[in-house]
Amino acid sequence: MQLSAQVVGVADGDTITVLSDDRKQYKLRLAFIDAPEKAMPFGQVAKQALSDLIYRQTVTASIIDVDRYGRGVAVIEHNQRDINLQQVTAGLAWHYTQYTKGQSSTDFERYESAQTQAKSQKTGLWADQHPTPPWDWRKANRNN
């Protein structure tokens, strides 16, 4: 499903709320990436960067799945730019290779290349010597 919508909320570096042209609200998780949780290093930076890119902007959301929380999982585009990929390029999200169902091999390579480049240039969260992936952080903090 594809929709044109205005971004009305940014929860974190990989979750947004949009209002579609037909006035329906959708909570969307950015596909193929995992950004630091807000309490993690770079969590607030990732959220702010996403806000700076698309808050109050009209985007195209290509919804490819629904996650276990009922959020649409989507690739977000703004001005012909893949915003999900932009978060990886900026070093503010991991390419979430555990959940790449539906990602084309071309896009998989683009995301991997962007992450490799961000790592080698120590961009964003890669400035930390050993950044903790959000999935490991969530697992460690599940009972807290």
One-letter-per-residue 3-state SS of 26-63: EEEEECCEECCCCCCCCHHHHHHHHHHHHCCCEEEEEE
> Is the Cα torsion angle 50, 2, 32, 117 positive or negative in sign?
negative
Q: CB–CB of 94/10 below 8 Å?
A: no
Angle at 133 between CA 127 and CA 135, to 5 degrees: 165
Q: CB–CB of 131/97 below 8 Å?
A: no
State how far the Cα of 89 lies from the Cα of 110, in Å rounded to an integer. 10
Catalytic residue positions, numbered: 29, 37, 71
